[in-house]
């Protein structure tokens, strides 16, 4: 049976099951890509400070609203708090800057990007700051997750965002957060694909009423352009014989099968494309169901293979930063 097109969050708001991810969308094409995605039917856009394209994303949204394609209330716009702004007093100012960059009054969802606090970098010095401080060093900050989360709760109270969530949290960190959170995280965003299913974490979050969003649904594909050896060594999911066989059986593309594998389990997805046909195909992943044998075959592909790991990018990142995915 076709799925609902949205997930009801514990904050009471509805989030589309299929959104458009803004990671690695180039600045010179970003506004047009957002505009064209809205034209194609996308209503959820997943951005972040660290992506460096929030101004252009907002321009695409503004043009779509001006042209009458959508109203602001039709859209579900997401951004993320970067590691350098975890100190409590830094949270609201940077959120307001991001809202200004987007040209918005509020975010539908504001997410803690990583459970990592880094030394503050003034936006006037470098923005987005990335992982390094003003001296080019990766310097851990002193803010606890509790301090940061408490400041994020105030964003909801101040109507700067409607829901708050977390990303790249493992079970223990999520469990700890739930002990003191006055406002529970509405979503958990994680790397999630057939090579990295994280079944226990997904089940725990969903059992706690926390919606799960998958990023990098196509596995190594997103990391090849980063010259990541782990991605080069892994078989491409879009060309995997099992995925291609299932796609052929259902008359769908391998990408649609990978996205449906997630959405059929009530996991939201945020793929991106600048190809008109693929835009439509990626959005059309709720009108068919994979069979039980398909799901079992895909389940057998799990390798626990994580690509979004600081160790895969640089060996110079301190141990205290590298350990986020082990907790």
Point out the residues that are catalytic: 51
SS (H, E, C) the chain: CCCCCEEECCCCCEEECECEECCCCCHHHHHHHHHHHHHHCCCEEECCHHHCCHHHHHHHHHHHHHCCCCCHHHCEEEEEECHHHCCHHHHHHHHHHHHHHHCCCCECEEEECCCCCECCCCCCCCCCCCCCCCCCCCCECCCCHHHHHHHHHHHHHCCCECCEEEECCCHHHHHHHHHHCCCCCCEEEEECECCECCHHHHHHHHHCCCEEEEECCCHHHHHHHHCCHHHHHCCCHHHCHHHHHHHHHHCCCHHHHHHHHHHCCCEEECCCCCCHHHHHHHHCCCCCCCCHHHHHHHHCCCCCCCCCCHHHHCCCCCHHHHHHHHC
The distance from CA 222 to its chain's CA centroid, rounded to whole angstroms, is 13
C-alpha 163/C-alpha 112 separation (Å) is 12
Helix 171-180 to helix 145-157 angle, to the nearest 10 degrees?
A: 60
Burial of 63 (C-beta count, 10 Å sphere; 0-12/13-18/19+): middle
Cβ neighbours of residue 116 closer than 8 Å, sequence gap 6 or more: 83, 86, 140, 321, 324
């Amino acid at each position: 049976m076709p799925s609902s097109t949205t997930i009801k969050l514990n904050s009471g708001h509805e989030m589309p099951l299929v959104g458009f991810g803004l990671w690695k969308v180039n600045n010179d094409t970003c506004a047009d890509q957002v505009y064209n995605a809205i034209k194609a039917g996308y209503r959820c856009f997943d951005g972040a400070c660290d992506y460096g394209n929030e101004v252009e994303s907002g321009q695409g949204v503004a043009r779509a609203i001006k042209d009458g394609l959508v109203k602001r209330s039709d859209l579900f716009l997401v951004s993320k708090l970067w590691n350098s702004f975890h100190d409590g007093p830094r949270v609201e100012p940077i959120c307001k800057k991001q809202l200004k960059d987007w040209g918005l009054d509020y975010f539908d969802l504001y997410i803690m990007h990583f459970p990592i606090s880094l030394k503050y970098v003034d936006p006037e010095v470098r923005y987005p700051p990335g992982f390094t401080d003003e001296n080019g060093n990766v310097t851990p900050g002193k803010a606890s997750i509790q301090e940061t989360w408490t400041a994020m709760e105030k964003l909801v109270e101040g109507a700067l965002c409607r829901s708050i969530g977390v990303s790249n949290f493992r079970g223990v960190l999520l469990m700890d957060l739930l002990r003191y959170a006055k406002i529970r995280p509405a979503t958990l965003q994680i790397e999630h694909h057939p090579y990295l299913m994280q079944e226990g974490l997904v089940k725990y979050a969903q059992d706690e009423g926390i919606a799960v969003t998958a990023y990098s649904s196509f596995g190594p594909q997103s990391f090849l352009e980063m010259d990541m050896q782990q991605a080069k060594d892994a078989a491409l999911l879009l060309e995997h014989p099992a995925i291609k066989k299932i796609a052929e059986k259902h008359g769908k593309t391998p990408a649609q099968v990978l996205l449906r594998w997630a959405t059929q389990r009530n996991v939201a997805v945020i793929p991106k494309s600048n190809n008109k046909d693929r835009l439509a195909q990626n959005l059309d992943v709720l009108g068919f169901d994979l069979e039980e044998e398909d799901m079992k075959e895909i389940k057998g592909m799990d390798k626990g293979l994580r690509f979004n790991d600081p160790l895969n990018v640089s060996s110079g990142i301190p141990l205290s930063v590298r350990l986020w995915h082990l907790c």
